[in-house]
């Protein structure tokens, strides 16, 4: 009789020894215990929550089980989320001692409701015992926080059957022979509530005595303990044994002499089972999307799969600019897992598929509604392969600010973009217009090889020698051809750079753009500059922000090169510093994305900022249709690369122009007037999916070759979330 | 000159932001390393963008060795005083006597009620705070025999078990502004922590407020020096001299020394969410202020 849980062992820390508690817990962690638990006892003993939080701060791996009274459930919910976050997902919440079943049931609903930060809208709860009137949900815990309920009588057992993730009983208060009946009641009420009894882990608090000869139940040599405990595990389905002991010696002997023998005897199935719930709770399953076969999620991905009812869902549903509600997010940790996730996704051809690395896609729809997302954020390695040739290997999930920071100690860098939060995967498959573009080219220009998973699940390398066609396509249209699992780059030397920020008057918008563009075009390649304007508001002075990096650490060089660019208009405010390249990139916060809605963006590549273009841009900004307008310099080294060398073909441009608006119709109305000036598009900043855009992003020869290769590598068009290139029809015969 | 005879304390007031969860912890560790005496966190249990302050304090206590910790200030309406008493004593025991209990009567009643707390009028909340302080002190007193009893308007204890006793005399510091709260602070508290940005008249307001606390103390037969005066401050470091607490560290030190000598403030707690200002405050402002205050007191 088992419930499919991994057999686990815990220790109850006596709440009496302030100095000893942390040491005791650390020793339990060293001894391999899975969980340390704390229970509240009145009077001189320590407050269990405080003690559990303290111990979490002094341990690294062991889970922390806090068994506490529940005075104000909403406050306890926030505390639980907080302890789970601080401890890196190690909390188990124990409730029930001294409570009444009906009140506790309400409390659990409130706690779960507030922990469910993925659900939008405040929590309202009108109960007999507790009321919550529009409390905001969150914070989202690190993991699903299991709620364990202590139950020794039928009302509490029934409550545990309906609502708990674990049932806790103490041997002594329940007889070994009474466990079966209790399990029966739990299972029955669980089924009545539409749950699977395997959702409930069975935890048993035990205590005993080690002695030379058997004196009674759990009183004797370790072998006798094993004999006594084994039937509880095998026949009664107990998944966790928690030993209460005052002395370190009992804890040591139990870990060394009882646990291994019990594990061995209990057999392989239990040892290999997941430590979390064997099945997702019923209320999580209730939120599943039709059309996704959740039961067949590959086992290796199971623990890291996130579904709509999971607490981690709040952290993965949306991206930096796009709100989403996918039906399943599969977080892969290796090329093999990527291939498994892909095979699973391919068995669902009807639902959308998104590939996500850093989650900063604009054109890239790395979230969706009701579909599947393969998330690569765990594959975030940054590794130096060879110091002499400055070869580095980057995982797709690494963020560019972390790349910059990791390369800085070597004195190296890689130009990527202007924002440190952007991920390697999306940017390095599309282009990469960054702070050193004019001097060092696009990010993809330093790419030497990739490893990727193709639509058919094969893992291949592509580089100058191996699969050169694929390597060509990856550099500009990579998202259409597979999932890149690692990137090999040749970095270059970058130390401190000049970093200028200028707030300038933009009342003569067209003039400013012209003068800025002219200054940038004649500047030495050390300089790369971006300019940003927002919608102009009546009655407010129009301003623009000009940013520039000069790849030099000599103040006179930096000042000399910044000056002409800053002089494009009267300056309101300025700062210029010499600072490590990595600190220019360190501009993103380390937290998750929670955008709502859909971004609307347009992109164009242009050779010169001509007076007519500048006038059209001024009109666009005056119209208010764009709330964010940016021109980035390219040209320089970007144009040194032949247009046919990579799928990114817009090599002749000196500038990239992007605009974000709220409404596609309004934005297009103004943007269309500018189209005649453009010579192509950088797909990353284009959200329009009409076929014309494809022809702008890729010149005819390039598009033809891409379609032909798409037909070869992805004939069924599995990869279609980012500027989709339709595969060429297979020619007959 | 006003001098209540306390050594100067310098601390940080750190936002307990939930994301990323380690940020507040790292700043607290940075504050300790920089040499500050005290790390404090505000407590707004209805605010999901924040970590639970009690949990954070306990966790940070485990991650630090020397620095003292306090809520600034703990939200009484959502935390029962009997639970607070045990939790505070526990944290004090675990941390080796490094905990102080900053307490507030609460203010955002809609949010408190939404969480399941009881709505009180401002007047009631002052009375409730008074009762709470009484209960907390009663439960800490393990010298007394028998269960703790308390029969109040807002809280009652019916023979609750006492203890544990804290490791040191935990200071109860009250966040107070209105006349009733200030008198209560004088009667019952060990410390007072207002925030300078909330004082419409700036530091000059402190004189009148101190007077109310002193009166409250006198009415209860206490010495005014029983109540340490602390102050949450915010400002900006910049090379050139500017307005109050906007300027170089030397200017800060002069201004803080003046506030200290003039109004008897002996604790300055800087609201800051970056390591850089915390480090400047600890390494430059604190020692210079201490020197100036010592010189001023000696005169
Ligand atoms: C604030 C901001 C600033 C930006 N600044 C710049 C800039 O300065 N210069 C610049 O060039 N771009 C810039 N971009 C655009 C950015 O490069 C793209 O949006 C890029 O796709 C983001 O990559 P990601 O991994 O973070 O995004 P994700 O959302 O994770 O991915 C976007 C798309 O890329 C594809 N993709 C992701 N990972 C892989 C992979 N491993 N293999 C194959 N395909 C993959 C998928 O199709 C996905 O839909 C910026 C974007 C934002 C939001």
Sort out which chain A residues have CB atoms less than 8 A from B161's CB and list them. Answer: 42-44
pLDDT surpasses 70 at A390 = yes
Please tell me whether the peptide bond between B73 and the residue prior to it is cis, using omega within 30 degrees of 0: yes
Minimal-distance CA residue of chain A relative to B16: A82
Q: What is the mean pLDDT of residues B94-107?
A: 96
Residue A275 above 70 pLDDT? Answer: no
Q: Are A225 and A258 in contact (CB under 8 A)?
A: yes
CA of A210 to the centre of ligand 1 (A): 61
Task: Give mean pLDDT, residues B30-40.
Answer: 97
ipTM of model:
0.97
Asked if the model's pLDDT at residue A733 lies above 50, the reply is: no
- For position A595, what pLDDT does the model report? 85
Mean pLDDT of B242-266: 96
**A326 Cβ below 6 A of ligand 1:** no
Which atom of ligand 1 approaches the CA of A483 most closely?
42
Query: CATH number of A287-375: 3.30.70.1140, 3.40.50.2300, 3.30.43.10, 3.20.20.70?
Result: 3.30.43.10
Stretch (H or E) spanning A155? helix A154-163
Are A259 and A267 a contacting pair, CB within 8 Å? no
Q: What is the pLDDT of residues B46-74, one digit of tens each?
A: 999 999 999 999 999 999 999 999 999 99
| Closest in B94, B163, B167 to A51, CB measured | B94
Question: How do residues A115-159 score in pLDDT, each as one tens digit?
Answer: 988 777 899 999 999 999 999 999 999 888 999 999 999 999 999
Q: Quick one: pLDDT band at residue A272, thresholds 50, 70, 90?
A: low
Domain A496-697 top-level CATH class: alpha beta
Domain boundaries, chain A: 8-269, 287-375, 496-697
Shortest distance between the Cα of B31 and any Cα of chain A, in A, equals: 17
CB-based contact A651:A639 (threshold 8 Å): yes
Which residues of B fall within a CB distance of 8 Å from A138?
18, 48-49
- The pLDDT of A374-388, averaged and rounded, is 97
**What is the distance in angstroms between the Cα of A84 and the nearest Cα belonging to chain B?**
10
From B20, B91, B142, residue closest to A50, measured CB to CB: B91
Which one, of B6, B12, B68, lies nearest residue B293 by Cα? B6
CB contact under 8 A, B46 and A135: yes
Confidence of residue A268 (pLDDT cuts 50, 70, 90): low
Minimum-distance CB partner of B163 among A44, A56, A72: A44
Q: Count CB neighbours of B216 within 10 A.
A: 24
The answer to whether A44 contacts B61, with C-beta atoms less than 8 Å apart, is: no
Residues of B in contact with A593 (CB under 8 A): none
What topology does CATH give the domain A8-269? TIM Barrel (3.20.20)
Q: What pLDDT was estimated at residue B109?
A: 96
**Residue whose entry in the numeric block shows the structure tokens 């020894």:** A17
**pLDDT of residue B23 exceeding 80:** yes
Determine the Cα–Cα distance for residues A446 and A475; give it in Å rounded to an integer.
Answer: 10
3-class secondary-structure state, position A179: helix
Q: A53, exposed or middle or buried, with CB in 10 Å at 0-12, 13-18, 19+? A: buried
B70: β partners: B40, B100
**Residues B119, A297: Cα–Cα separation, whole Å:** 49
pLDDT for A528-579, tens place per residue?
999 999 887 777 789 999 999 999 999 999 999 999 999 999 999 999 999 9
Question: Chain B within 8 Å of A121 (Cβ-Cβ)?
Answer: no
What is the tens place of the pLDDT at every residue in B158-216? 999 999 999 999 999 999 999 999 999 999 999 999 999 999 999 999 999 999 999 99
Q: Has residue A396 got a pLDDT over 70?
A: yes
Q: How far is the CA of A567 from the centre of ligand 1 (A)?
A: 33
In this complex, the residue of B19, B56, B89 whose CB is nearest that of residue A86 is: B56
CA atoms within 13 A on the CB side of A648: 30
Residue entry with tokens 């899975």: A34
- CB within 8 Å: A82 and B18: yes
Distance, CA of B281 to CA of B249 (rounded, Å):
7
Q: Could you tell me what percent of chain A has a pLDDT over 90?
A: 85
Average per-residue pLDDT for chain A: 94
Over range A7-36, report the average pLDDT. Answer: 89
CB-based contact, A133 to chain B, within 8 Å: yes
Looking only at the bridges linking them, the beta strands covering A328-331 and B9-14 are unpaired
- Give A266-272 contacts, CB < 8 A, sequence gap 24+: A266/A7, A266/A230, A266/A233, A266/A234, A269/A2, A270/A2, A270/A5, A270/A6, A270/A7, A270/A233, A271/A6, A271/A7, A272/A6
Do the chains contact at B54 and A79, CB–CB below 8 Å?
yes
**Closest chain B residue to A127, measured at CA:** B116
Q: Is B171 exposed, middle or buried (0-12, 13-18, 19+ CB in 10 A)?
A: middle
Is the Cβ–Cβ distance between A209 and A216 less than 8 Å? no
| CA A319 to ligand 1: nearest atom | 29
Q: Is A650 in the pocket of ligand 1 (CB under 6 A)?
A: no
* pLDDT bucket at A281, cuts 50 / 70 / 90: confident
Greatest Cα pair distance in chain A: 98
Residue B296's pLDDT band (boundaries 50, 70, 90)? very high
- Shortest-distance Cα residue to atom 36 of ligand 1: A426
Q: Any chain B CB within 8 A of the CB of A74?
A: yes
- Report whether residue A687 contacts ligand 1, using a CB cutoff of 6 Å: no
A209-227 confidence digits (pLDDT tens): 999 999 999 999 999 999 9
What is the DSSP code string of chain B?
--------EEEEEE--BSSSTHHHHHHHHHHHHHT-SEEEE---TT-TTB--HHHHHHHHHHH-SS-EEEESSEEGGGS-HHHHHHHHHHHHHHTTS-EEEEEE----HHHHHHTTPPP--HHHHHHHHHHHHHHHHHHH--SS-S-EEEE-SS-EEEEEPP-PPPSS---EEE---SHHHHHHHHHH-SEE--BGGG-TTGGGHHHHHHHHHHHHHHHTT--GGGSEEEEEE--EE-SS--STTEE-HHHHHHHHHHHHHHH-EEEEEEE-SSHHHHHHIIIIIHHHHHHHHHHHHH-
What is the dihedral sign for C-alpha A458, A462, A468, A471? positive
User: What is the spatial distance between Cα A220 and Cα A656, in angstroms, rounded to a whole number?
Assistant: 79
Which chain A positions have a beta carbon within 8 Å of B55's beta carbon?
49, 53, 79, 82-83, 86
Contact between chains at A43 and B48 (C-beta distance less than 8 A): no
Q: Which residues contact A181 (CB under 8 A, 6 or more apart)?
A: none
Is residue A256 within 8 Å of A246, Cβ to Cβ?
A: no
A276 pLDDT higher than 90: no
Q: Do domains A8-269 and A496-697 have the same CATH topology?
A: no
Contact A130 B116 (CB under 8 A): yes
CB spacing of A46 vs B46 below 8 angstroms: no
CB contact under 8 A, A74 and B45: yes
- Establish whether residue A721 lines the binding site of ligand 1, counting it when its CB lies within 6 angstroms of any ligand atom: yes
For residue A56 the two structure tokens come to 């979490």
Contacts of A720 (CB under 8 A, 6+ apart): A353, A480
Structure tokens at B241: 């001299």
Label residue A17 by pLDDT band (50, 70, 90): low
d(CA A447, CA A490): 7
- Terminus-to-terminus CA distance in chain B, angstroms? 10
Q: Do B116 and A132 touch (CB under 8 A)?
A: yes
The residues, any chain, with a CB within 8 Å of residue A639's CB and separated by 6 or more, are A651, A652, A653, A654
Cα separation of A410 and A408, whole Å?
5
What order of strands is seen across the sheet that includes strand A328-331? A305-306, A328-331, A372-375, A353-356
Q: What is the mean pLDDT of residues A323-349?
A: 97
Map tokens 């924040």 to a residue. B50
| Ligand 1 centre distance from Cα of residue A697 (Å) | 16
Q: Measured between CB atoms, does A468 come within 8 Å of chain B?
A: no
Structure-block tokens of residue A123: 């929590």
Mean pLDDT for A405-423 is 97
Query: What is the distance, to the nearest Å, from the Cα of residue A263 to the centroid of all Cα atoms in its chain?
Result: 35
CATH class of segment(s) B9-298: alpha beta
**Residue A478, ligand 1, Cβ within 6 A:** yes
Q: Are strands A372-375 and A91-95 parallel, antiparallel or unpaired?
A: unpaired
Instruction: Please indicate whether residue A430, judged by its CB atom, sits closer than 6 Å to ligand 1.
Output: yes
Of B25, B48, B113, the CB nearest to A133: B113
**With contacts defined as CB-CB under 8 Å, which chain B residues touch A50?**
54, 58, 87, 90-91, 94
Rounded Cα gap, residues A364 and B108, in angstroms = 43
Among B56, B114, B142, whose Cβ lies nearest the Cβ of A135? B114
pLDDT tens digits along A647-681: 999 999 999 999 999 999 999 999 998 999 999 99
> Can you give the pLDDT at residue A312?
81
Q: Alpha-carbon distance B294 to B3, whole Å?
A: 11
pLDDT at res. A271: 54
Pairing mode of beta strands A353-356, A372-375: parallel
Mean pLDDT of A220-237: 95
Q: What angle do CA A326, A330, A335 make, to 5 degrees?
A: 140
Instruction: Name the more confident of A120 and B87.
Output: B87
A468-514 pLDDT, tens digit each: 999 999 999 999 999 999 999 999 999 999 999 999 999 999 999 99
Phi and psi dihedrals of A687, rounded to 5? -100, -5
**Unique residue bearing structure tokens 């009882």:** A258
Report pLDDT for B91.
Answer: 97
Q: State yes or no: pLDDT of A270 exceeds 70.
A: no
Among B59, B78, B163, beta carbon nearest to A75: B78
Provide the chain A residues 557-616 that lie in CB contact (below 8 A) with chain B.
589-592
Alpha carbons A90 and A520: distance in angstroms, whole number: 53
CB contact under 8 A, B87 and A47: yes
Which strands form A543-550's sheet, in the order they lie side by side? A571-580, A496-505, A543-550, A527-534, A626-633, A655-661, A600-606
- A18–B contact, CB cutoff 8 A: yes
Q: What is the rounded CA–CA span in Å between residue B8 and residue B34? A: 16
């Amino acid at each position: 009789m088992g419930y499919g849980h991994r057999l686990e062992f815990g220790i109850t820390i006596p709440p009496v020894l302030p100095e000893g508690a942390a040491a005791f817990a650390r020793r339990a962690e060293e001894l391999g215990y899975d969980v340390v638990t704390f229970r509240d006892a009145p009077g001189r003993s320590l407050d269990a929550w405080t003690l559990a939080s303290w111990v979490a701060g002094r341990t690294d791996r062991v889970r922390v089980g806090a068994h506490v009274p529940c005075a104000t459930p909403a406050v306890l919910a926030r505390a639980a989320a907080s302890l789970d976050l601080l401890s890196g997902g190690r909390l188990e919440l124990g409730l029930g001692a001294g409570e009444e079943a009906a009140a506790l049931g309400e409390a659990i609903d409130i706690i779960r409701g507030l922990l469910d930060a993925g659900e939008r809208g405040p929590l309202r709860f009108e109960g007999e015992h507790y009321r919550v009137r529009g409390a905001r949900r969150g914070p989202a815990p690190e993991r699903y926080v299991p709620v364990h309920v202590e139950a020794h009588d039928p009302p509490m057992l029934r409550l545990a059957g309906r609502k708990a993730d674990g049932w806790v009983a103490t041997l002594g208060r329940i007889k070994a022979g009474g466990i079966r009946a209790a399990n029966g009641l739990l299972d029955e009420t669980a089924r009545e509530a539409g749950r699977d009894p395997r959702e409930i882990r069975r935890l048993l608090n035990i205590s005993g005595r080690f002695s030379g000869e058997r004196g009674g139940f759990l009183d004797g040599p370790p072998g006798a303990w094993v004999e006594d405990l084994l039937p509880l595990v095998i026949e009664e389905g107990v998944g966790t044994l928690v030993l209460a002991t005052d002395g370190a010696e009992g804890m040591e002997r139990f870990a060394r002499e009882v646990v291994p023998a019990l594990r061995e005897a209990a057999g392989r199935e239990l040892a290999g089972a997941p430590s979390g719930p064997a099945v997702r709770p019923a209320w999580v399953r209730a939120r599943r999307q039709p059309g996704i076969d959740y039961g067949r999620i590959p086992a290796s991905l199971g623990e890291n799969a996130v579904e709509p009812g999971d607490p981690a869902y709040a952290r993965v549903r949306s991206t930096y600019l796009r709100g989403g509600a996918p039906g399943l997010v599969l977080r892969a940790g290796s090329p093999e897992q990527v291939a498994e996730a892909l095979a699973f996704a391919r068995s669902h051809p009807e639902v959308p598929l998104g590939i996500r690395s850093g989650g900063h896609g604009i054109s890239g729809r790395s979230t969706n509604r009701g579909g599947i997302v393969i998330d690569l954020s765990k594959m975030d390695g940054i590794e130096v392969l060879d110091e002499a040739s400055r070869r580095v290997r980057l995982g797709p999930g690494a963020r560019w600010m972390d790349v910059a920071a990791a390369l800085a100690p070597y004195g190296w860098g890689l130009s990527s973009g202007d924002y440190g939060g952007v991920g390697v995967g999306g940017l390095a498959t599309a282009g990469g217009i960054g702070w050193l573009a004019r001097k060092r080219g696009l990010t993809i220009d330093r790419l030497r090889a990739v490893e990727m998973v193709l639509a058919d699940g094969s893992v291949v390398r592509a580089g100058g020698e191996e699969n050169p066609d694929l390597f060509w396509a990856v550099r500009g249209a990579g998202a259409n051809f597979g999932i890149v699992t690692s990137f090999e780059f040749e970095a270059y030397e970058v130390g401190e750079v000049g970093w200028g920020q200028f707030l300038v008057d933009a009342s003569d918008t067209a003039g400013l753009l012209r003068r800025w563009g002219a200054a940038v075009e004649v500047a030495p390649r050390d300089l790369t500059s971006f300019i940003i304007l927002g919608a102009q508001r009546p009655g407010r002075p129009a301003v623009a922000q000009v940013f520039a990096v000069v790849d030099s650490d000599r103040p006179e060089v930096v000042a000399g090169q910044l000056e002409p660019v800053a002089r494009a208009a009267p300056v309101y405010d300025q700062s210029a510093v010499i600072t490590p390249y990595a600190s220019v990139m360190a501009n993103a916060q380390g937290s998750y994305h929670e955008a709502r809605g859909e971004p609307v963006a347009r992109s164009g590549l242009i050779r010169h900022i001509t007076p007519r273009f500048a006038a059209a841009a001024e009109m666009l900004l005056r119209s208010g249709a764009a709330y964010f307008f940016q021109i980035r310099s390219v040209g320089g080294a970007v144009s040194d690369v032949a247009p046919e060398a990579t799928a990114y073909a817009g090599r002749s441009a000196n500038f990239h122009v992007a605009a974000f608006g709220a409404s596609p119709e309004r934005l297009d109305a103004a943007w269309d007037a500018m189209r005649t000036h453009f010579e192509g598009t950088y797909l990353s900043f284009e959200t329009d999916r009409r076929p014309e855009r494809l022809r702008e992003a890729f010149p005819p020869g390039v598009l033809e070759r891409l379609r032909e290769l798409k037909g070869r590598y992805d004939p069924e068009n599995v990869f279609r979330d980012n500027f989709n290139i339709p595969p060429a029809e297979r020619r007959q015969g | 000159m006003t001098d209540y005879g306390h050594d100067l304390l310098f601390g940080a007031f750190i936002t307990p932001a939930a994301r990323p969860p380690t940020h507040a912890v790292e700043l607290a560790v940075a504050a300790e390393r920089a040499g500050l005496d005290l790390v404090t966190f505000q407590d707004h249990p209805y605010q999901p963008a924040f970590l639970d302050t009690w949990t954070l304090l306990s966790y940070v206590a485990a991650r630090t060795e020397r620095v003292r910790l306090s809520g600034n200030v703990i939200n009484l309406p959502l935390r029962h005083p009997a639970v607070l008493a045990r939790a505070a004593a526990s944290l004090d025991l675990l941390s080796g006597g490094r905990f102080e209990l900053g307490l507030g009567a609460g203010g955002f009643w809609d949010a408190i009620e939404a969480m399941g707390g009881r709505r009180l009028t401002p007047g009631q909340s002052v009375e409730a705070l008074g009762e709470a302080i009484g209960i907390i002190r009663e439960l800490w007193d393990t010298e007394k025999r028998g269960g703790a009893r308390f029969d109040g308007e807002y809280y009652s204890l019916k023979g609750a078990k006492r203890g544990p006793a804290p490791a040191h005399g935990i200071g109860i510091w009250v966040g107070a502004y209105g006349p009733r709260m200030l008198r209560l602070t004088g009667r019952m508290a060990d410390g007072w922590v207002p925030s300078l940005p909330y004082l419409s008249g700036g530091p000059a307001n402190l004189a009148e407020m101190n007077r109310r606390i002193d009166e409250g103390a006198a009415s209860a037969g206490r010495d005014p020096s029983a109540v340490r005066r602390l102050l949450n401050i915010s400002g900006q470091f910049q090379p050139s001299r500017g307005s109050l607490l906007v300027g170089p560290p030397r200017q800060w030190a002069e201004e803080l020394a003046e506030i200290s000598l003039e109004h008897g403030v002996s604790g300055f707690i800087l609201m800051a969410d970056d390591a850089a200002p915390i480090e400047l405050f600890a390494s430059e402002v604190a020692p210079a202020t201490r020197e100036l205050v010592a010189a001023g007191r000696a005169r």
